[in-house]
């Protein structure tokens, strides 16, 4: 249920790839000079912001290459191009002008070429070009295309991911039945996230490389294995790396299938020796997620992100490291009660930078190998989502509730950041944003809870406003300084709503105890936290306590359904997007079983399991006799994490109960809404519903 915005961007770009070509400004599209008619945000303005995607710093640390994608609303299409700029800041230059786009950009290890993926030849392949955008050249020519790439530090090999067919289809088994349309399944995990699982598996290959071209045939380092690397559905080539000497490849893989895979998070780091053609499990006996191996540049250490417990996808994400000389493995975050994400070594191998959730924002931290200490580098009302090393500091990406992603130059000593990309300044300068306030509110068990309160752009304290309780998803995803094309707080505030967004129990960034409390306690303390937040803010003179709504997606959608049966007349309108309505049905039909099994603490037929029985007793469908408040239900047909029948069940019951209800159904969307026109429709229906019952 974790939402990874980068995947949404990659999916959109994959659907819009086109051939590299000479600079032809008519072939691409940008909104950079767009003029708006009003200072108040609209769905169309929201979809017109430029979206910074891949960001890569040159090996010498002096140049940043990055992609910006713009949506042409009338075409329902996204265009993406590559840009470069000095790492210290300055004007950026567009170096590709294509009808579709390039993605997954990087620099060749020698810094002489920018590398990227494109479907120019029909399939997605690896391409190179000069840093000024000239001399585009296709590097790989792999049948069926590739799914990711990585150069060896020695530049004599390239690793790439490619799908390999290993299982039979109905037509393979019964070739005479060429018009048969069916699947035959014998085990679990036959569908995942938003697709029915193919008879193919993503494998890692390597191939020789020299002077801009691959030579010879590629070698599958996982030949015959019915496993995926990178991990599905969200893993990328950050899960694959060469050793510094280029002689071996480390990769992430969960070598389990079927029901065993559905109930397990136990992935490992494997090391493939190219010369010996042999594989070794480096993390054998470590039972949770072990992902994203990163070798120190001096070749002495291997660092990776690790979780301790099998089946717990929201366990603490630790910084683990192996001394390659001794083989000793150690958790270097045993005294750091937070997560680590995106490990980045410094060139001297003395430090590792990473990001971590920290009390309502994502910040940059530094690990010092000399004394094993961790220091916080940045602090503020923002999210730092990635960090890289530049010649004179750090290059990071940052969002906030007031702006989409921008590229920031960060002083590694002071933490001071400067926006060097300014992609969206022209549009932001025409719009008025609402203030974002950080509050501390007491919970029913006398804890301090961080609550974000977002105000309308032209807030007048003498007026009374309707207010919306935002119920966060995940369930264990911090309510941070994020920017979304749907759950956008500035969009909600622009429609004259006060937004109340609590970091209730069960979220990271406030210590592991706070994060873990939610497991086995759905419908418990975290729901009380929601009431504490909305009750406190609704007492303000500028809030109309008779015009309160509750909205949310995923776990937030479940929260809305649960609140509908337990809110004691607090709310006048509800919106649930892709929410869980019936726990028994959810347990029986979701795909990654480890999530529900861990969070519910078991199945629904184990009646002796008191904790599990308490979970199922809090299923929203058990409280529908109390439903009496208008409900908008939104769901996508390709949501296999929370199947759309959950939304259908909630809508049908609301109608049978005589409750005003509407069902907004997207046949081609998954757990998110990715296309432009569907996204704008989402916004229009969202506010049409709220305005009907709260204004």
Helices 525-538, 555-564: crossing angle, 10 deg rounding: 70
Query: pLDDT category, 606, cuts 50, 70, 90?
Result: very high
Is residue 4 over pLDDT 50? no
Res 21: pLDDT: 43
Is residue 12 over pLDDT 90? no
Q: What does the pLDDT look like over 289-304, one tens digit per residue?
A: 999 999 999 999 999 9
Q: What does the pLDDT look like over 31-44, one tens digit per residue?
A: 999 999 999 999 99
- Count CB neighbours of 131 within 10 A: 16
Q: What does the pLDDT look like over 42-94, one tens digit per residue?
A: 999 999 999 999 999 999 999 999 999 999 999 999 999 999 999 999 999 99
Res 8: pLDDT: 38
* Tokens linked to 525: 């303390």
200-210 and 51-57: which strand pairing?
A: unpaired
Cβ atoms of 82 and 689 closer than 8 Å: no
- The catalytically annotated residue of 58, 554, 576, 619 is 554
Q: Is 639 marked active-site?
A: yes
This prediction has a pTM of 0.95
Res 16: pLDDT: 36
Q: Is 671 marked active-site?
A: yes
Q: What does the pLDDT look like over 652-676, one tens digit per residue?
A: 999 999 999 999 999 999 999 999 9
CA-based torsion, 619, 624, 629, 630: positive or negative: positive
Cβ atoms of 653 and 561 closer than 8 Å: no
Is residue 103 over pLDDT 90? yes
**DSSP letters of 562-616?**
HHHTTSTT--SEEEEES----HHHHHHH-S-HHHHHHHHTS-SS-TT-HHHHHHH
Is residue 11 over pLDDT 80? no
- The catalytically annotated residue of 228, 341, 635, 671 is 671
Is residue 445 over pLDDT 70? yes
Cβ atoms of 555 and 547 closer than 8 Å: no
- What's 617's DSSP letter? H
Q: Is 621 marked active-site?
A: no
Q: Could you tell me which of 547, 575, 561, 408 has the C-alpha nearest to residue 486?
A: 575
Q: What does the pLDDT look like over 522-569, one tens digit per residue?
A: 999 999 999 999 999 999 999 999 999 999 999 999 999 999 999 999
Please, what is the average pLDDT of the chain? 95
Res 26: pLDDT: 61
Res 25: pLDDT: 59
Cis peptide before 373 (omega within 30 of 0): no
């Amino acid at each position: 249920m974790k939402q990874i915005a980068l995947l949404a961007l990659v999916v959109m770009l994959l659907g819009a790839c086109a051939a590299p070509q000479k600079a032809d400004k008519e072939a691409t599209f940008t909104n950079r000079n767009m003029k708006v008619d009003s200072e108040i945000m609209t769905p169309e303005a929201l979809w017109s912001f430029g979206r910074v995607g891949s960001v890569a710093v040159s090996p010498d640390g002096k140049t940043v290459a990055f992609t910006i994608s713009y949506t042409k609303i009338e075409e329902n299409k996204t265009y993406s191009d590559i840009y470069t700029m000095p790492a210290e800041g300055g004007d950026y230059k567009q170096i590709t002008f294509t009808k579709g786009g390039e993605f997954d950009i990087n620099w060749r290890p020698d810094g002489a070429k920018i590398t990227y993926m494109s479907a120019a030849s029909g399939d997605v392949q690896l391409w190179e070009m000069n840093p000024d955008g000239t001399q585009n050249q296709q590097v790989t020519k792999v049948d069926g295309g590739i799914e990711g790439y990585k150069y060896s530090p020695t530049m004599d090999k390239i690793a790439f991911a490619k799908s390999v067919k290993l299982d039979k289809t109905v037509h393979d088994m019964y070739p005479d039945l060429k018009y048969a349309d069916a699947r035959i399944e014998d085990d679990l995990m036959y569908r995942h996230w938003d697709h029915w699982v193919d008879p193919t598996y993503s494998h890692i290959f390597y191939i020789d490389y020299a002077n801009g071209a691959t030579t010879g045939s590629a070698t599958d380092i996982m030949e015959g294995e019915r496993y995926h690397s990178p991990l599905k559905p969200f893993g990328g080539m950050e899960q694959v790396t060469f050793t510094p000497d280029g002689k071996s490849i480390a990769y992430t893989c969960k070598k389990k299938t079927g029901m065993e895979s559905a109930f397990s998070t136990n992935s490992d780091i494997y090391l493939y020796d190219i010369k010996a053609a042999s594989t070794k499990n480096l993390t054998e006996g470590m039972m949770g997620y072990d992902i994203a191996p990163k070798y120190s540049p001096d070749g002495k250490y291997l660092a990776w992100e690790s979780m301790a417990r099998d089946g717990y996808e929201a366990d603490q994400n630790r910084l683990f490291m192996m001394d390659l000389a001794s083989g000793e493995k150690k958790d270097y975050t045993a005294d750091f009660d937070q997560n680590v994400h995106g490990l980045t070594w410094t060139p001297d191998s003395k430090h590792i930078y990473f990001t971590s959730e920290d009390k309502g924002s994502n910040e940059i931290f530094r690990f010092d190998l000399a004394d094993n200490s961790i220091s916080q580098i940045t602090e503020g009302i923002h999210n730092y989502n990635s960090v890289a090393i530049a010649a004179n500091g750090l290059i990071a990406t940052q969002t906030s509730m007031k702006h989409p992603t921008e590229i920031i130059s960060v002083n590694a000593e002071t933490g001071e950041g400067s926006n060097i990309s300014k992609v969206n300044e022209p549009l932001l300068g025409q719009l008025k944003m609402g203030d974002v306030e950080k509050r501390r509110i007491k919970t029913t068990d006398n804890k301090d809870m961080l609550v974000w309160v977002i105000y309308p752009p032209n807030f007048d304290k003498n007026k009374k406003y309707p207010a919306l309780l935002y119920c966060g998803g995940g369930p264990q995803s911090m309510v941070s300084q994020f920017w979304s094309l749907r759950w956008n707080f500035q969009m909600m505030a622009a429609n004259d709503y006060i937004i109340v967004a609590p970091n209730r129990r069960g979220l990271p960034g406030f210590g592991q105890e706070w994060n873990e409390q939610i497991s086995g306690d759905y419908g418990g303390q975290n729901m009380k936290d929601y009431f504490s937040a909305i009750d406190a803010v609704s007492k303000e003179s500028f809030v109309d306590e008779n015009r309160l709504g509750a909205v949310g997606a995923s776990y937030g959608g479940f929260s809305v359904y649960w609140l509908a049966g337990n809110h004691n007349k607090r709310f006048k309108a509800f919106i649930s997007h892709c929410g869980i309505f019936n726990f028994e049905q959810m347990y029986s039909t979701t795909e990654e079983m480890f999530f529900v099994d861990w969070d519910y603490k078991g199945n629904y037929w184990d009646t002796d399991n008191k904790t599990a029985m308490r979970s199922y007793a809090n299923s929203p469908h058990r409280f529908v006799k109390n439903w009496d408040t208008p409900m908008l239900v939104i769901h996508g047909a390709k949501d296999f994490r929370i199947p759309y029948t959950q939304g259908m069940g909630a809508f049908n019951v609301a109608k049978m109960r005589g409750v005003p209800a509407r069902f907004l159904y997207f046949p081609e969307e998954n757990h998110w809404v990715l296309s432009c026109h569907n996204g704008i429709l989402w916004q229009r229906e969202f506010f049409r519903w709220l305005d009907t019952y709260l204004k």
